Amino acid sequence: MNIVELIRKETLSFQDKTALIQCDDKILYQELLAKITQAADELTKNGLKKGDRVGFLCEDSIDYIIVCLAVLSLSAVIVPVPDSCSQAEIDELVCRIDLNFFIFGKAESSTESYSNKSRSIFDGIVGTKKFWIYKRRAGNNVPQEYHDLNPAFIRFTSGTTGDSKGVLLSHETIVQRTDAANKALNVTSDDIVIWMLSMSFHFVVTILLFLRQGATIIICSGSFPDSLRQGLQNNRGTFIYASPFHYRMMIKSDLFPPATFSCFRLAVSTAMRLSGSTAVDFYKKFGLELSQAYGLIEIGLPFINNSKNSDTRESTGKILPDYMVRIANRNKEGVGEISIKGKGIFDAYFSPWRSRSQVAPNGWFETGDLGRLDKDGFLFLVGRKKNIINFTGMKIFPYEVESVINQYHGVQESLVYGTPHNIYGELPCARIVLKNAAANNFDLGELRKFCYQNLASYKVPKDFILVKKLDKTASGKLKRKH
């Protein structure tokens, strides 16, 4: 099975329909598929073959979709590289996932070391953007199981252990996920989807689902909220897919009058927890209930709340038909650890290699999240078992940030944590203990600059607080609030 070939078959009757819109650019399904073929031919000429791992860095665009689908059409594996990554993070991704190729669409400092070893590609094929391709001598020390799985996608992220890097999905798993999600989203060729999220984080389920169904996708790239306003003014949407951050900004902005979403059938909120106040305020202004979705890269979208019930606004809804949920170790309020079982669960962690059967031997995946089910089966998220910080839908691992801070001269130790924020979800902050010699002339500005050089910008703490000591357990571990 190949997801691109499936899209070709499923859209045969939509060839003259608009597939993608970005600003003034439009592309029909027949044009999209033709450009995918052209780009795939160019990749083949550059030596790309089945099973190769291809890092891809590009801003959200029509070009992004064309290149990703071209790679997938060759049964190679897409490894998205978020454009917020620092040089150090890109280097780690390249090595840990053992990339065969790195394709990037922008010449910034984060890709400078690769630009010198790359060459131009896709001239005149996918659009006006300039792309470069870097061919790397990979070790390819992967188990045979990797090839047997028919791999399609690897998301470079820490797994539940904190050590595993790279969630691997096969073509078959992606098909199962998109099928499962559409039992709640009910996307059809009549839908015009307003797309607001980062493709490097949210490509697999939704973009591919929309294309499989022959829907039209409006890519609102560029500065927010102007890009969204333009997308809404020029197109009559039926479906918007965004984060609570975007919805909160729409509520506050005069650019979006109450009638903005009068023709919309669904407004999905995902990427981070939806607050009750945002859900209420959005309904009061626009008269449309937000549908909170609960997704994980290891599972897909097992929960989507499209009940339109004001009493369950803060819920992620009921478990979808292709999944099962259980709450373990419940407290007296019914809050416990969420585990999920069903179709489309990830196939393996890539580095170090751990198959699905090793991670979830009985089929149940432990999400690390805490929640409770009400009497009607609606899931309410409460928190996380692990201290992951969720900043506008992007996950920040405190240990990673602390390891960078602790490298800075004058720092003895640090504690990174999240503080609740009504718009951004959580803000990363840090408490710092200095070495005695640095106490009198320590420059927090220089520390912040050091963090920006070694971390993606969203991971850099928004506040640094100097303290004399950090609270610890009896065994000497840092005390973290859960």
Q: What domains appear along the chain, each with residue ranges and CATH number?
A: 3-141 (3.40.50.980), 173-384 (3.40.50.12780), 389-466 (3.30.300.30)
Q: What is the pTM of this model?
A: 0.85
Per-residue tens of pLDDT for the chain, all 482 residues:
999 999 999 999 999 999 999 999 999 999 999 999 999 999 999 999 999 999 999 999 999 999 999 999 999 999 999 888 888 889 999 999 999 999 998 766 678 889 889 999 998 888 778 899 999 999 988 999 999 999 999 999 755 545 668 999 999 999 999 999 999 999 999 999 999 999 998 999 999 999 999 999 999 988 889 999 989 988 889 999 999 889 999 998 999 999 999 999 999 999 888 888 889 999 999 999 999 999 999 999 999 999 999 999 989 999 999 999 999 999 888 989 999 999 999 999 999 999 999 999 899 999 988 899 999 999 999 877 777 788 988 878 787 898 899 889 899 889 999 999 988 899 999 999 998 777 778 999 999 999 999 999 999 999 999 999 998 765 456 787 64
Q: Round to whole Å and give the CA distance between 19 and 28.
A: 5
